[in-house]
Amino acid sequence: MLTHRASEAHALHPVVLGDDGSVPLSEPALRRAAFGDAPAITDRALAAATTPRSQWLAAVLLGARGRYAAAAALVRPL
């Protein structure tokens, strides 16, 4: 069922990334994922956040998923 929902999200929300995380994330895409209606971004893509703001947004999303250590690793250098 989770896989089915992810595929539905991909059809509705173009910010959803593939499993390889190869599409660069924009700040608006991260904001939608962290606080909006498109949470299906892969963890690998989140780890590739490059600016302080995008790292913070990625950490918010990881924390919401219960990935607290990964979130802390992203914000520690900030």
Q: What pLDDT does residue 34 have?
A: 81
How far is Cα 51 from Cα 36, in angstroms, rounded to an integer?
Answer: 20
Q: How many alpha carbons fall within 13 Å on the CB side of residue 26?
A: 6
pLDDT digits (tens, 9 = 90+) for 9-27: 444 433 444 444 545 577 8
Q: How many alpha carbons fall within 13 Å on the CB side of residue 43?
A: 11
- What is the model's pTM? 0.60
- The number of folded domains in the chain is 1
Q: What pLDDT does residue 36 have?
A: 75
Residue 66: which domain range?
2-75
Q: How confident is the model at residue 69 (pLDDT cuts 50, 70, 90)?
A: very high
Mean pLDDT estimate for the chain: 70
